[in-house]
Structure 1
Amino acid sequence: MGSLLMAVKSKMYIFTHRRARGMLDGEYASVFRGRSLDFDDLRNYVPGDEVRDIDWKATARTGTPLIKRYVATRRQQLLIVADTGRNLAATARGGELKKDIAVMAVGVLGSLTIRHGDSVALVHGAGESTVALPAKGTETHLESILRCLDAASLASGPSRLIDRLEYVAAHYRQRMLLVVIADELVADEPLAKVMRRLSAQHEILWVQIADAILAGPEAVAGNGLDVAGLEPLLLLLDSETELARGYAEAEADRARGVENLLKNCGIATTSIGATGEVMTQIFALLERHRRAH
């Protein structure tokens, strides 16, 4: 059995060599607003640095803009929250399985976490069963996390992300960075309640794995099942124009509801439909979070 983490790291290597060195790491390092830092030294200002980090006295003395550089005095924790129910075995927008995209996204973020000396944990499960893996800062542990995501199948229990989120709200009090790996879901009151509670206590990034398009020229051929209930899909969407239009409008309303809920909670989000989009979307997600805070 090949290493899932090695496959992720090989794709990261290609991406990072197409961009300025350190940009992705820099975006990760900027996520923690509450990071405990000690002053280290000064370096020359480069475009993109935070103006608030300029040492104005040193700049006046030298005539050259200088940035204060800090080092972390304590480790941070990244907590991945994912529902590994049967929805993760469904087909995503780009035609791949959703779990493959989840493995890539978590692998990228987990690799950045470990590279910065931080630790990563996982809360996952299906149906009413929630499993928590403790925070560790090793690649062996990250590989175990990726294996948990990759194990999702149509034989898994039903997906209930709300149960995973409520578990985190009840059991994790220390401030940390939460990355939620989400299927497309409805912004109902239970979700709004738990997200308001979590966003008041933690930094949160929301990674949505986009559903396959079921009708129209961009429709993706899937496994023929609605994995939520293991029932045949509504194949009439391809032949009934009005039905397809109503379905599209309902999906757009649902998506807007989730988007507005997360925006009101101050949570940066991204939607990913293929593994080839992961690196670009994760980079953009970290950048949006930094600019928002």
Structure 2
Amino acid sequence: MTALLTKVKSRLFVVAHRKTWGMLDGEYTSVFRGRSLDYDDLREYVPGDEVRDIDWKATARHGSPLVKRYVATRQHQLLLVVDTGRGMAAQAASGEAKWQVAVSAAGLLGYLALRHGDLVGLVEGDAGSTRPHPVKAGEAHLERLLRAVATRTTLESGDSRLVEQLRYVAEHYRRRMLVLVVADDHEVDEEELALVRRLHAQHEILWVGVEDADPTTTARGATAYDVADAAVLPPQLRLDRRLAQAYALAVAERRETLGRTLERLGIVHVRVGSSDAALAAVFRLLERQRRRGR
């Protein structure tokens, strides 16, 4: 099996040129407001950079704006919180498994963290068990984390229940961290809401929702079923136009409710339906977080 991080980096390198890399670096750094920094080198200015970071003397010599780039004098920690219940083994909007989209999103932010000298850890699990993975540096370590998500997420996994993983983080991680939550669109009950509010008071939280495939658009003759209980959706119902409209409305309402809940708590969030869209989604996530932190 091809290394998962290699796939993530390949997708990133194909899309991201020098300007995009600079913007991604800038957006990631901005998440840690007030971090201690040492001067490193210069790079070309890109939209979103702080004007105060422009080196005006170097800019005059170069002929175009240059900004000072800094490195952290202390390491920060990124904690990936990923649902690996069987709900994430279902198809995403793109037709691939939702865990593959989760790996792409988590892998991209994890790789950015490593580039900045930060540490990355993982908490993953389902309704029956939650498994922590240590916070460390290095691409080999990040590969192991992504591999854990891939191998743990199967149709034989327990039910998806993100509240269990959030509770674990609330009880075991005291140091302030950047927490990336990756899960599907689901209804947030009062218990989960209280945990998210508690975590948000202590950590910097980003949220990625992985979009489900629409079973009402499955090709004629194909089988569609709910991975939660393996219940098959009969073709006569799946292809019914009124049912399709009702399903679309229910999905839209659930997404809107989750979005409003996260907005009310001040948590930046995005939805992503494919691995190919993960880079743009992560960039939007970081950009929104920077703007919110102004």
Q: 1:224 to 1:112 in 2, by over 3 A?
A: same
Q: Which residue of 1 aligns with 2:207?
A: 206
Q: 1:130 to 1:220 in 2, by over 3 A?
A: farther
Given that 1:95 and 1:220 are in contact with CA atoms closer than 8 Å, whether structure 2 keeps it comes out as no
For the pair 1:94 / 2:102, whether they are aligned, the reply is no
Q: Which residue of 1 aligns with 2:156?
A: 155
The offset of 1:146, in angstroms, is 0.8
Q: Which residue of 2 aligns with 1:170?
A: 171
Q: 1:128 to 1:289 in 2, by over 3 A?
A: same
The offset of 1:80, in angstroms, is 0.2
The offset of 1:16, in angstroms, is 1.3
CA distance in 2, matches of 1:13, 1:41: 22
Q: Which residue of 1 aligns with 2:254?
A: 254
The offset of 1:124, in angstroms, is 0.5
- 1:78-227 correspondence runs (5 A): 78-151=78-151, 152-216=153-217, 219=218, 224-227=224-227
CA distance in 1, matches of 2:45, 2:18: 23
1:208-253 deviation line (CA, Å, top 9, x unaligned): 110011225xx57876221122222364443433333222222221
Q: Which residue of 1 aligns with 2:72?
A: 72
**What's the C-alpha RMSD, in Å, of the aligned pairs?**
2.7
SS of the equivalent of 1:22 reads helix
Q: Which moved more, 1:235-244 or 1:146-155?
A: 235-244
The offset of 1:102, in angstroms, is 1.1
Q: 1:6 to 1:41 in 2, by over 3 A?
A: closer
Q: 1:2 to 1:192 in 2, by over 3 A?
A: same
Given that 1:213 and 1:220 are in contact with CA atoms closer than 8 Å, whether structure 2 keeps it comes out as no
Write the letter of the residue equivalent to 1:78.
L
Percent of aligned positions that are identical: 51
Given that 2:80 and 2:181 are in contact with CA atoms closer than 8 Å, whether structure 1 keeps it comes out as yes
Q: Which residue of 2 aligns with 1:12?
A: 12
Q: Which residue of 2 aligns with 1:266?
A: 266
Given that 2:26 and 2:48 are in contact with CA atoms closer than 8 Å, whether structure 1 keeps it comes out as no
CA distance in 1, matches of 2:204, 2:250: 30
Q: 1:277 to 1:90 in 2, by over 3 A?
A: same
CA distance in 2, matches of 1:18, 1:69: 14
- Unpaired segments ≥5 residues, structure 1: none
Q: Which moved more, 1:47-56 or 1:252-261?
A: 47-56
Q: TM (normalized to structure 2)?
A: 0.87
SS of the equivalent of 2:103 reads helix
The number of equivalent residue pairs is: 286
SS of the equivalent of 1:269 reads strand
SS of the equivalent of 1:27 reads helix
